[in-house]
Structure 1
Amino acid sequence: MAIQIRDATSRDLPHILEIERLSFPSPWTLASFKRELTLPFSRVIVAISEDYTPNRGATSPILGFLCRWLIADECHILNIAVHPDARRLGVGAMLMIEAIREAQAERAELVTLEVRRSNLAARQLYRKFGFEERRLKKNYYGPGEDAIIMELRFD
């Protein structure tokens, strides 16, 4: 399966929202994603494949997305999700590779993100890229849902 990464457009938002709703208990709103598409320091990218469509009746070639901010010397990944039917195919890794590559090209010193303490699969993926767990934010995602702050520093 050939996967490509490109910038998201407003036409992608219904498909991004579908993935968001399938992935998170408190999904971002349409307004949140629209805002990210307008901010000069924000970038939303999508992973697409014309030869793969998720099984749940989706009609979109969008398999996943990533939203990041690049401000001064830091890249902050705000949101990343992969359609449940496209997980474990390397889509999340490809999105992370693009964000890290861009951060290095723009001479960022580090990449940061928050991840649910309970999301062991995501934490494992981020560790594969060299992210280290730095701090804990208690109840960041709501009562009993802590976040772990992870960082990838470039030498």
Structure 2
Amino acid sequence: MVSIRNATPRDLQRIFEIERLAFPHPWSLESFRRELALPFSRLITAEADQQNADAENEGNLAGFLCRWLIAEECHILNVAVHPEMRRMGIAAQLMAEAIAESKAKKIELVTLEVRRSNFAARNLYRKFNFEDRRLRRNYYGLGEDAIVMELTLETDLTNHK
């Protein structure tokens, strides 16, 4: 079981460590600092309970998600889970939190980019009903395309007669 909460400046070093373990071209520590300061950005963390934590994963921080809320859109910029904590549903819980927040704020569209080669992430997003919309060639560098995925949310406004 994990608990989801807003990230604080004290979490940034651990978030950066997870980022470096998760991606071949990680964000910088300064990038995460900037995200904490932006008014439209939210950086959330997943903390594992003591049962799921181990000595390697000190501080129990298991993963994070960074998103922007701008106008009627939520854009998910980054999701990562510590390699030793994967396949426990942590990324799904982070995604569920971002989607629930979007619904509560009457957001109509959730978007993200995902590496074409990242089948695990693409499958996770499809479980939340994200759909492939377009391809961005070489988005992650030469030979690494991004797939833009979107989720359209029903809001109370669309349900009114």
- With normalisation by structure 1, the TM-score equals 0.96
Q: Which residue number corresponds to residue 99 of structure 1?
A: 98
Which amino acid counterpart does residue 7 of structure 1 have in structure 2? Answer: N
- Structure 1 distance, partners of 2:11, 2:49, is 14
Q: Which residue number corresponds to residue 127 of structure 1?
A: 126
Q: Which residue number corresponds to residue 159 of structure 2?
A: none
**Alignment deviations for residues 49-95 of structure 1 (CA, whole Å, 9 cap, x no partner):** 2313256x231210000000001100000000000000000000000
1:68-79 alignment, distance < 5 Å: 68-79=67-78
Q: Which residue number corresponds to residue 53 of structure 1?
A: 53
* 3-state SS, counterpart of residue 112 of structure 1: strand
Residue 54 and residue 29 in structure 1: after superposition, are their counterparts in 2 closer, same or farther (change >3 A)? farther
- Structure 2 distance, partners of 1:53, 1:19, is 14
Question: 1:85 and 2:58 equivalent?
Answer: no
Which amino acid counterpart does residue 57 of structure 2 have in structure 1? Answer: A
Question: 1:20 and 2:22 equivalent?
Answer: no
- Structure 2 distance, partners of 1:130, 1:49, is 26
- Name whichever structure is richer in helix by fraction: 2
- Structure 2 distance, partners of 1:22, 1:49, is 17
Tell whether the 8 Å contact from 1:54 to 1:83 is kept in structure 2 after alignment. Answer: no
**Higher mean displacement: 112-121 or 43-52:** 43-52
Residue 54 and residue 150 in structure 1: after superposition, are their counterparts in 2 closer, same or farther (change >3 A)? farther
Q: Which residue number corresponds to residue 10 of structure 2?
A: 11
Question: 1:137 and 2:136 equivalent?
Answer: yes
- Structure 2 distance, partners of 1:36, 1:48, is 19
After superposition, the CA RMSD in angstroms is 0.9
Which amino acid counterpart does residue 53 of structure 2 have in structure 1? Answer: T
**Alignment deviations for residues 95-123 of structure 1 (CA, whole Å, 9 cap, x no partner):** 00000000000111110000000000000
* 3-state SS, counterpart of residue 142 of structure 1: coil
- Structure 2 distance, partners of 1:115, 1:46, is 20
Q: Which residue number corresponds to residue 32 of structure 1?
A: 31
* 3-state SS, counterpart of residue 57 of structure 2: coil
Q: Which residue number corresponds to residue 145 of structure 2?
A: 146
Unaligned runs of 5+ in 1: none
